Amino acid sequence: MFHNKFMKEAISYVDINSSDAPIGAIIVDDENKIISRARNNTEHDPSGHAEVLAIRQAVDTLGVKKLYNCSIYITLEPCPMCATLISYTRLKNLYYGARDLKFGAVESNVKIFESNLSLFKPNIYSGILENECLELLKNHFANKRL
Amino acid sequence: MFHNKFMKEAISYVDINSSDAPIGAIIVDDENKIISRARNNTEHDPSGHAEVLAIRQAVDTLGVKKLYNCSIYITLEPCPMCATLISYTRLKNLYYGARDLKFGAVESNVKIFESNLSLFKPNIYSGILENECLELLKNHFANKRL
């Protein structure tokens, strides 16, 4: 199943030894070719969430401003910053793994795509390899408490 | 009055000849020193709103991750992407000029800082040189329709 395959790619791109939250993102075109891979990297850029970095890279690689025929796979539900950027760039499909009860902006907290903002809404698929995605986060925060 | 002075700086940094929306942002420290200046520039980066660029530049210039003692002046009410980044970087004060009835995420549409997201909320001051800020936008969109 393609969804699981690409979510595995996003998971495998996470750097579990980084101090950044273990979140990965992959952008794929409509021929199932991977266009970009990114992981959270906020060390020198506070906007460096995996989704933002993957989108910047995809736009740069394809030389376009909108990603109409592309899909994004993210291990965690996007925050309002990332959800809004996904909307601006017209990503067709949004797949994510775990819910983010604190900052999630799709279904968990602010529902950015349900708001009356004039925002484009992608097709949304959640819970893809949810347990594996959650496991990454649990291990990260458990290690932080050691 | 400092607020007007810095908003004028933000306005004057806008490039009215650009195809990007005429929005400017300035970040100032608690000694009223300007740390960064930016204008919308989404040509090669869809996240290149003035606020995002000003924040990235300020973080880089100061070599810090949070902008605790800084204020941001923006000619337009920030969108959810920018409001969330303002929260992440702990900017103490947010000053803006015109409201954005379509994408505004402070008072006009999604109220990001009033949500139950676990987000830091800056002090918020709106309507600073509102007419001058609005004028920029009106001229831009009037010219687009020619």
- The distance from CA A48 to its chain's CA centroid, rounded to whole angstroms, is 12
Adjacent-strand bridge partners of A135: none
State whether A42 and B65 contact (CB < 8 Å).
yes
Say which amino acid occupies A129. L
Q: Tell me if A103 and B85 make a contact (CB, 8 A cut-off).
A: no
- How far is it, in rounded angstroms, from Cα B31 to Cα B29? 5
Amino acid present at A53: L
What does the mean pLDDT of chain B come to? 94
pTM above 0.80, yes or no: yes
Residue-wise pLDDT for B14-47, tens only, equals 999 999 999 999 999 999 999 999 999 999 999 9
Is the pLDDT at A146 greater than 70, yes or no? no
Q: Are strands A34-39 and A123-125 parallel, antiparallel or unpaired?
A: unpaired
Nearest-CA distance B106 → chain A (Å): 12
B51 is catalytic: yes
Neighbouring C-alpha atoms within 13 Å toward the C-beta of A78: 35
The pair of three-digit structure tokens given for residue B9, joined into one six-digit string: 């700086």
Alpha helices, DSSP H only, in A19-145?
Answer: 50-62, 80-88, 130-144
Average pLDDT for residues B52-68, to the nearest whole number?
Answer: 97
CA distances from B127 to B62, B94, B106, B131 (A): 28, 11, 12, 8
Q: How far is B44 from chain A (nearest CA, A)?
A: 7
For residues B130-139, give the mean pLDDT.
94
Q: Write out the two tokens for A140.
A: 């990260």
SS3 B137: helix
The answer to whether A110 and B115 have CB atoms below 8 angstroms apart is yes
Residue of A nearest to B89 (CA): A46
Confidence label for B145 from pLDDT (cuts 50, 70 and 90): low
Choose between B115 and A137: higher pLDDT: A137
Buried residues in A112-137 as b, exposed as e (16+ CB within 10 A): bbebebebeebeeebebbeeebeebb
Residue of A nearest to B58 (CA): A45
Say which amino acid occupies A36. S
Q: Which residues of B touch A (CB under 8 A)?
A: 42, 44-47, 52, 55-56, 59-60, 65, 79-85, 88-89, 102-103, 105, 109-110, 112, 115-119
List residues bridging with B36 in a β-sheet.
Answer: B27
User: Would you place residue B117 in the very low, low, confident or very high pLDDT band (cuts 50, 70, 90)?
Assistant: confident
User: In the structure encoding, which two tokens stand for residue B80, read together?
Assistant: 């959810």
Cα A36 off chain centre by = 12
- CB within 8 Å: B65 and A46: yes
Confidence at B146, pLDDT banded by 50, 70, 90: low
**Which residues, listed in sequence order, are joined to residue A96 by a DSSP beta bridge?**
A74
| DSSP assignment string, B76-125 | E---HHHHHHHHHTT-SEEEEEE--TTT-TTTTSS-GGGSSS-----EEE
Q: Are A46 and A74 in contact (CB under 8 A)?
A: no
